[in-house]
Amino acid sequence: MRHTEFWALMDQVLGEAYSRSWADLTVIGELDGRTARQALADGEPPKRVWAAVRRQLELPETYR
């Protein structure tokens, strides 16, 4: 997964404006207490970050 795919999924699920705010403000324990944006900036693979986001939001498996 590329960063562009990650952000496209975020926009699809949360909406274009809110997805950025959510990624900046929501701390995810599975990402060692970082936000999605921090984890990506630290070099975490977008696929791993998306998986953590998906679980945090309790999205169905269809969003894998």
Which pLDDT score, from 0 to 100, does residue 9 have?
97
Phi, psi of 44 (to 5 degrees): -65, 140
Cα dist from 18 to 9, 15, 43, 52, 54, whole Å: 12, 6, 23, 18, 15
pTM above 0.75, yes or no: yes
Is-contact 56 27, C-beta < 8 A? no
**Residue range 27-63, pLDDT digits in tens:** 999 999 999 999 999 999 999 999 999 999 999 988 8
pLDDT band at residue 64 using 50, 70 and 90 as cut-offs: confident
Is-contact 35 21, C-beta < 8 A? no
Residues 6+ apart with CB under 8 A from 2: 46
pLDDT band at residue 26 using 50, 70 and 90 as cut-offs: very high
Which pLDDT score, from 0 to 100, does residue 62 have?
86
